Structure 1
Amino acid sequence: MELETKLINILKEDSYIIKILQAVEKLHLKDGWVAAGLIRNKVWDVLYDTDTPPNDIDVIYFDSKDISRATEKIIEAQLEKLMPEQPWSVKNQARMHQKNNNPPYRSSFDGVAHFPEIPTAVAARIHQHEVEIMAPYGLEDLFQGIVKPTHYYQEGTELSAIYKERMQKKKWQTIWSDLVIE
């Protein structure tokens, strides 16, 4: 089975994640997606037969005409009304390039491509009643339990220290012991 289809099936089987995707869909965000940890952790939970609660729900979108953090907070409040007491974290990818002094991103895809590690660089959404997947680096590492930096964070780059620090702080191997972290 193709990995994208496998991921879609995993997400469809999780009613909580489907509710999250539906909530985000209702807001009609420009280039809106649920990204990163929620999707990554769900796959690892399935692979390693565990169940971890979400520490945050990363919602991304791209709107270069309004890059205010206040708008992100408004969107979080809207999501809170749809699904109360969830750890919503909304970020407009049109401003996230500033975090690491990158050139401006051109889309949510570009923002996800700039995430620190490959298995985290994944997103999902419901679009026209279908679950869609965005994975700039593919899904192989995610499904193989391999964690390595995206090329922006590889050894020898200005951002490599951020990747190393994240790996030390995340302690993913204490939850998913068979992960291979490069």
Structure 2
Amino acid sequence: MYSNYGKQIAQWVKADTNRLRALNIAAELNLPDWCLAAGFVRNLVWDNIFCTSKPSPLNDLDLIYFDKSNVSAHRDKTLEQQLRRKAALPWSVKNQARMHLRNGDKAYSSTVDAMRYWIEKETAVGVRLNEDSNIEVVTAFDLQLLFAGTVTLNDVKAQPDVFADRIATKNWLTLWPKLKIVSSEES
């Protein structure tokens, strides 16, 4: 079942010229354990399953990677500048090897491990190009949740106030009115 969802995501990314271009540009950095994550994939899936007439904009491109050898925030800013020179997009680059400090979590062991702590389960998904230039889906949770049209509070990071604030400020229920909110007690 996972592979069918993953194949569908790969097909949708390939059909989206803006996302495919961003993915190829990100791949040029050759970062370890990287992916374009969060809304890059989540919004694409929700646009497709809810048959949105106007696709949601690429208003935040979260490029995450895991590299213990250089955890400098300055490095991430430099990478963002490199990406912006190639494409004037809203890039956000974060090395997950240091993000546990900002988030107050135990040290992460990989990009997927870091995703396990994200507020919503459906956001913890990304795509990258593998060595053969094929699109690979990276996720911390079952993709079935994402395709169910839900947004689920992650029990590991159960912060209901932050969860509710993200739903409101990101305007998800306006963009996708059929989206179902699932609190931790229901998941």
Same fold (TM over 0.5): yes
Partner secondary structure for residue 129 of structure 2: strand
Secondary structure of 1:94's aligned partner: helix
**Paired position in structure 2 for 1:13:** 15
Shift of 1:90: 0.4
Aligned residues: 177
Larger mean Cα displacement after TM superposition, 90-99 or 166-175: 166-175
Q: Secondary structure at the match of 2:68?
A: coil
Counterparts of 1:18-167 in structure 2, within 5 Å, are: 18-50=20-52, 51-83=55-87, 85-128=88-131, 129-154=133-158, 159-167=159-167
CA distance in 1, matches of 2:118, 2:14: 24
Q: How far 1:151 sits from its partner (Å)?
A: 2.1
Normalised by the length of structure 1, the TM-score is: 0.92
Q: Extract unaligned runs of 5+ from structure 2.
A: 183-187
User: Per-residue displacement from partner, 1:51-92 (whole Å, max 9, x unpaired)?
Assistant: 111121000011112111110011111111221x10000001
SS at match of 1:59: strand
Deviation at 1:37, TM superposition (A): 0.7
Per-residue CA deviations over 1:6-42 (Å, capped at 9, x if unaligned) read: 1111111111111111111111011111000111101
TM-score under structure 2 normalisation? 0.89
Query: What amino acid is aligned across from residue 175 of structure 2 in structure 1?
Result: I
One-letter amino acid of the counterpart of residue 87, structure 1: P
Amino acid corresponding to residue 95 of structure 1 in structure 2: R
Local SS of the residue matching 2:97: coil
The DSSP-based 3-state class of the residue aligned with 1:123 is strand
Give the letter for the 1:80 counterpart.
Answer: R
In structure 1, C-alpha distance between the alignment counterparts of 2:144 and 2:68, rounded to whole Å? 31
User: Are positions 1:174 and 2:155 aligned together?
Assistant: no
| Aligned-pair CA distance for 1:114 | 1.4
Percent identical: 35
Q: Deviations over 1:121-151 (max 9, x none)?
A: 1000011211000111121111111111122
Aligned-partner Cα distance in 1 for 2:168–2:19? 27
Contact map agreement 1:153 1:162 (CA 8 A) in 2: no
Q: Which moved more, 1:130-139 or 1:162-171?
A: 162-171
